Structure 1
Amino acid sequence: MEDDDAGGGGGEASPPHAGSAAAMAGAGRDIAASPTSSRSVTQTVNGSHRFVIQGYSLAKGMGVGKHIASETFTVGGYQWAIYFYPDGKNPEDNSAYVSVFIALASEGTDVRALFELTLLDQSGKAKHKVHSHFDRSLESGPYTLKYRGSMWGYKRFFRRTALETSDFLKDDCLKINCTVGVVVSTMDYSKPHSIHVPESDIGYHFGTLLDNQEGVDVICNVAGEKFHAHQLVLAARSSFFRSELFEHESDEEKNEVDTSNEIKEIVIDDMEPKVFKAVLHFMYRDNLVGDDELSASSSDCSIFDTLAGKLLAAADRYELPRLRLLCESYLCKHISVNSVATTLALADRHHAMELKSVCLKFAAENLSAVIRTDGFDYLKDNCPALQSEILRTVAGCEEECSSGGKSQSVWGQLSDGGDTSGRRVRPRV
């Protein structure tokens, strides 16, 4: 009987579900999930910065271990700076060499990176002096910087006597290119399915709603010119309009259904029609009007009279913080020696803090030219406190660069209009 149970006859005596389970197991093998894969990829995120050192001969003698620092630049999520030591970093070298280093200027732990320093040949022969980690094998791998202030570079980058008679120095100017490659590791893995989602088009649809005038229920009277809009859109975008349109209503009025066909009208008496049109464009489309419209009003007129300047004022008045930032970004790209002082005054007046910060730094870095402009005279007459802020910014920049010897000349420039040698300078007309 045991042999019969083990043979084919025993199969018929088995419970009906036993065969079904075996079939399901076989089917399970047939529909097993596709194999997955992953891959670790280690590579460098690269970025470059050019550091121009103008007035090399004046920088000499500042002292061993003292440096001139470049502006910080970002690569791989970290801040970096180039340090140039005109008298060398190593006291033992007795100022016989100039030193050049790349420093980690932000917080970081065990940041691994590759570096390249290039002293540019300014003769046009392209015989640059290059020290590079890139494109060569490294016995111990990339260099590791363990904390903020860690540096990589050369104490004996170039002998000073040779540098001063070379084609690397031209018109008392040196040019150094720096490339940083931060080592990053990412995980690449297979994705069986993915669906691309396009960018939001809500601004297009709301803009169409404004263009077609569908369902408008409010008129904005701006200097006699009337603009039709939608109360809910205005209220959603601006707390000023929300208060103007709804917060004065009683509870009964809010709950009432308006059966009349009358359209509410509000009067705006502190803005030009073309400016309000640009404000409406932003409120419906969430971006600025085209550059052609913004730049059309920018030539040969004060920054206060440009469309961008007036839009910034409107953004502040009507509580549109994103519009204010967009205007700040636009104006930031057009800062010049001649416009920075009045742009600073505009930013200060309308609480554009990021634009103000950029203007202060630009003015501090170009002070000897800025003090000769009509805009600087405008600050003297209308915004004297901003002159003090420029001075404090200059002092801060000098401390960061540790270059010294400039504060006295800056005081002279601000107090009596003199240049860096103390001579009087006639303002431009």
Structure 2
Amino acid sequence: MLLETGKYVKSTPFNVGGYNWFIKYYPNGCRTPGCTSIYLALDSSNGKDIRVNARFSLLDKRGEPVPSYNHTSADYIFPNKSSSPGILLNSIRHVLLEGSVHLRDDCFSIRCDVTVFKDANNSNQFVMVPPSNLHQHIGELLKNMDGADVTFQVGGERFSAHRSVLAARSSVFKAELFGGMKENLCDPVKVDDMEADVFKSLLHFIYTDSLPELAHEGTDEGATRGDVVTASHLLVAADRYNIERLKLICEEKLCNHIDSNMVATTLALAEQHNCNGLKEACFEFLAFPSNLEAMVASDGFKHLKGSCPSVLKELIARLLPVKLKAVKDIIMAIWY
């Protein structure tokens, strides 16, 4: 019988960093019904102000993490054992979990990687070294523009920047600003096929190694869709300028927000920009028949069919069982 909202079952305790921990499993959510919530909780009474980082993974039938259900928490400090409910590892809506191919006989497997950081306050050190704030100082250059020596024009807006910073972070910018392409540069440098707010976010990442806060007004669903669209545009920009870490961050965000309305567009994006993890996450989602039917009925399917027919061929080959190989070959012949 499904437990009511706020009720949980706990795992067998395990030890990391000299402290005992356990997983709290809320079948009907910790605070919000209609979802499954999973938390990491402290089980040691002697623990105080423990800084922890945790990564949650839903596992497929081979025991491998599913990209679309991976989640890494921000650093969290446990004041003591009674701090509740702990770190939220993930919250998955029932409708998505029940429609997943990873749910077998009403069971699923998870993996939790826990990192416990050594607290300088609890050691015998007399000097505490603060964390690096290099990104803050470099980020200040973007704000005050001291020493800026290049200007970009994007979508009617102008952005000042520093050639050396851009070249250090992007091989493409290095070639454009210092290499053989330098002679062909205009002043300001015109950037086509990109929106101004996307280029602004790209610069923010280059200078700070982090994404700006993305605030979308309206419902949670509207905010999520807005973040997905922004992540898609940023992924294209990151691929264009060969900024691999930003590309992977955007790819991970898109993996975590796949739905029937967006999956066709996301799959085309993954194919066009060589995002293998994102493509696998889309294939996993489309392995469920109702998700596949909804994708075919979506607005993005026509674009996918026209722009990336090869990925549809690969999808068909994945979905059809081996014994229907002859049928698959006939379908491919008709398709092309």
TM-score by length of 2: 0.55
Query: Does the 8 Å contact 2:58/2:110 carry over to 1?
Result: no
Aligned length: 236
Query: Does the 8 Å contact 1:234/1:242 carry over to 2?
Result: yes
Distance 2:17 2:281 in 1: 38
Identify the match of residue 311 of structure 2 among 380, 386, 392: 386
Partner of 1:245 in structure 2? Answer: 177
Partner of 1:225 in structure 2? Answer: 157
Would you say 1:311 and 2:234 are equivalent positions? yes
Would you say 1:282 and 2:214 are equivalent positions? no
Structure 1, unaligned runs of 5 or more: 1-39, 52-75, 84-103, 107-172, 183-189, 254-262, 400-406, 417-429
Partner of 1:355 in structure 2? Answer: 278
> Residues 144-174 of structure 1, C-alpha deviation per residue, up to 9 Å, x if partnerless?
xxxxxxxxxxxxxxxxxxxxxxxxxxxxx96
Partner of 1:269 in structure 2? Answer: 192
Question: What's the CA shift for 1:213?
Answer: 1.4
CA spacing shift, 1:245–1:361, aligned 2, 3 Å: same
Distance 1:391 1:224 in 2: 43
Question: What's the CA shift for 1:313?
Answer: 1.0
Aligned-partner residue type, residue 246 of structure 1: F
Query: Does the 8 Å contact 1:46/1:180 carry over to 2?
Result: no
Partner of 1:372 in structure 2? Answer: 297
Distance 2:17 2:130 in 1: 28
Question: What's the CA shift for 1:361?
Answer: 1.3
Distance 2:60 2:278 in 1: 26
Partner of 2:251 in structure 1? Answer: 328
Would you say 1:200 and 2:132 are equivalent positions? yes
Query: Does the 8 Å contact 1:278/1:289 carry over to 2?
Result: yes
Question: What's the CA shift for 1:321?
Answer: 0.8
CA spacing shift, 1:353–1:273, aligned 2, 3 Å: same
Aligned-partner residue type, residue 389 of structure 1: E
Question: What's the CA shift for 1:178?
Answer: 7.2
Distance 2:111 2:230 in 1: 41
Aligned-partner residue type, residue 275 of structure 1: V
Aligned-partner residue type, residue 357 of structure 1: E
CA spacing shift, 1:80–1:356, aligned 2, 3 Å: closer
Question: What's the CA shift for 1:387?
Answer: 1.4
Aligned-partner residue type, residue 276 of structure 1: F
Distance 1:373 1:322 in 2: 31
Query: Does the 8 Å contact 1:239/1:319 carry over to 2?
Result: yes
Distance 2:17 2:194 in 1: 56
> Residues 75-111 of structure 1, C-alpha deviation per residue, up to 9 Å, x if partnerless?
x99x99799xxxxxxxxxxxxxxxxxxxx958xxxxx
Query: Helix, strand or coil for the counterpart of 1:236?
Result: helix
Structure 2, unaligned runs of 5 or more: 1-15, 28-53, 65-103, 114-121
> Residues 168-212 of structure 1, C-alpha deviation per residue, up to 9 Å, x if partnerless?
xxxxx9644779999xxxxxxx95326544333222222211111
Distance 1:80 1:323 in 2: 24
Aligned-partner residue type, residue 290 of structure 1: E
Query: Helix, strand or coil for the counterpart of 1:287?
Result: coil
Query: Helix, strand or coil for the counterpart of 1:292?
Result: coil
> Residues 257-299 of structure 1, C-alpha deviation per residue, up to 9 Å, x if partnerless?
xxxxxx9642222322222111111111111222216999x95
Query: Does the 8 Å contact 1:238/1:319 carry over to 2?
Result: yes
Query: Does the 8 Å contact 2:267/2:304 carry over to 1?
Result: no
TM-score by length of 1: 0.44
Distance 1:181 1:340 in 2: 27
Query: Helix, strand or coil for the counterpart of 2:287?
Result: helix
Question: What's the CA shift for 1:221?
Answer: 2.1
Task: Work out which of the two has the higher radius of gyration on C-alpha atoms and give 1 or 2.
Answer: 1
CA spacing shift, 1:275–1:42, aligned 2, 3 Å: closer
